[in-house]
Structure 1
């Protein structure tokens, strides 16, 4: 069987983007269904060809991106859709905030969780997301952006476009991990909005920096972070000091207002972690494998 014949045979396996169909599965099915031994290279080429036929060519779809965004804007009037190119007209950034999300903003919690994840398509790159919750605790995606890399410029660009669509609100708060570019970008564009840290990521930093008594450290840190009174907070911080004084000093240097609920300058509600954005990222795991055109449409 030739590669193009194997490709036709495998095409149906990729109709659903959530289907995981590996090269080893192709080899196994070809052997079981047709009694044909296919080497790894041929099976891989047939998979790539089938994916291209079903989902489009990754390179060609970049060329169609401008047309797609133009039509998306025309059919979603009021959306913020921006495409940034390099000096030699190559792709750099794209930002999408649909009008439906922008309209919902005033009816959601004023807490915006931002996060970045990596795309798995041929050209890769980070996908930046911002999300919040409605009054019922349901996740509301606010915007998506694809950038060349997670750096100071890309995050500042992201927050600039975010402000264009969502502006600011009273008691607004950003929640993120401690990525320096997020912190710089948010503070530069939203000088008046505090940036709080995800306690799960902060706990990961603590585990990396301090190796002993991690179970006790975790218990006291999480309890202190979620404490509703200064008295309760101080109790757990004193207990933490008994376990490891250096951890207590480390958290003090970061700033209690960055991670402790009782010291937060604005209400964090239940957003002590960046789970809102990470849950969104987990839902779109399979979508991250698509070429940019079809990925944006799926999002």
Structure 2
């Protein structure tokens, strides 16, 4: 990549000049070569002033910082345009790989699904528990990244599939699970673990009719603790311990004590969440040690 040289800090008359945007980009490229994480625009203002002794505005630094990152990562619009070629080659060099690209009515990107052939074959030897979660993409285009993972007998995380969708909506979750079902069929042994996103829960119930669905007790513990004013972390921790008990008798004893100490939390649980979805001893399937969706 060609580097642009910066103008002199001072002119022949001794008057200070303001730094150009190209100079800021040159500093970012030189000092942070190949790095995705670069200083904030505010930090760059001080960096340029210390290095060159010239004034520079926040806007100039922000604009050229973004340009420097774009030079490294590429233009997002161009990236979306070459997706079909990328997916074609992914299937060519990775046998049995499954990809799906859905466009909207304007012939623009809507959904993307990718699972490698090796992941599909390897799932036969994994525990039949799939953890699903989504995270927001902090990009110009936005959207959500959806991840589905499993766990091998040595407790290692095993990636199954990922997707990019426009948001955690009923339509997008239905599309994701419908596509996932083409490579991992429905089964009475299959278990999904996730948070309680209403669209996700409904999509699993509609697409995977025979599977079981357990809720992430970490997310649920954060919902529980808001029903008390003091000792919230202790309330959440005690809930997670009770949820992981294997014996029904032991569970009933501890939960009854929990109900007496934190009646408002127990009322929330009894009213809002079926005990079969969060208590290990009452869960109709085999979750093994997978009680949260944190791995995803």
TM-score, length-normalised on structure 1?
0.87
Equivalent position of 1:39 in the other structure: 57
Shift, 1:42, TM fit: 0.5
The answer on whether the counterparts of 2:217 and 2:292 sit within 8 Å (CA) in structure 1 is yes
Task: Name the CA distance, whole Å, in 2 between partners of 1:118 and 1:235.
Answer: 40
Distance change >3 Å, CA 190–CA 61, structure 1 → 2 = same
RMSD value, Cα: 1.7
Equivalent position of 1:146 in the other structure: 164
The answer on whether the counterparts of 1:117 and 1:126 sit within 8 Å (CA) in structure 2 is yes
Task: Name the CA distance, whole Å, in 1 between partners of 2:148 and 2:175.
Answer: 13
Query: Which residue among 276, 287, 291 is the counterpart of 1:257?
Result: 276
Distance change >3 Å, CA 158–CA 14, structure 1 → 2 = farther
Residue 129 (1) aligns with residue 147 (2): yes
Equivalent position of 1:274 in the other structure: 293
The answer on whether the counterparts of 2:149 and 2:159 sit within 8 Å (CA) in structure 1 is yes
Shift, 1:209, TM fit: 3.9
Residue 100 (1) aligns with residue 94 (2): no
TM-score, length-normalised on structure 2?
0.88
Shift, 1:85, TM fit: 0.6
Task: Name the CA distance, whole Å, in 2 between partners of 1:44 and 1:102.
Answer: 43
Task: Name the CA distance, whole Å, in 1 between partners of 2:111 and 2:265.
Answer: 39
* 1:1-299 equivalence runs, <5 A: 1-12=19-30, 13=32, 15-17=34-36, 19-169=37-187, 171-211=189-229, 214=232, 217-253=235-271, 254-277=273-296
Shift, 1:8, TM fit: 2.4
Shift, 1:7, TM fit: 1.2
The answer on whether the counterparts of 2:132 and 2:147 sit within 8 Å (CA) in structure 1 is yes
Task: Name the CA distance, whole Å, in 2 between partners of 1:100 and 1:16.
Answer: 30
More helix by share: 1
State the Cα deviation string for residues 41-92 of structure 1 (Å, max 9, x = none). Answer: 1001111111111111112222222222222222222111000111110111
Count of aligned pairs between the two proteins? 276
Task: Name the CA distance, whole Å, in 1 between partners of 2:235 and 2:27.
Answer: 55
Shift, 1:32, TM fit: 1.9
Gap runs ≥5 in structure 1: 278-299
The answer on whether the counterparts of 2:22 and 2:64 sit within 8 Å (CA) in structure 1 is yes
Higher relative contact order (CA 8 A, sep 6+): 1
Task: Name the CA distance, whole Å, in 1 between partners of 2:226 and 2:199.
Answer: 21
Task: Name the CA distance, whole Å, in 2 between partners of 1:112 and 1:92.
Answer: 24
Q: What SS does structure 1 have at the residue aligned with 2:277?
A: helix
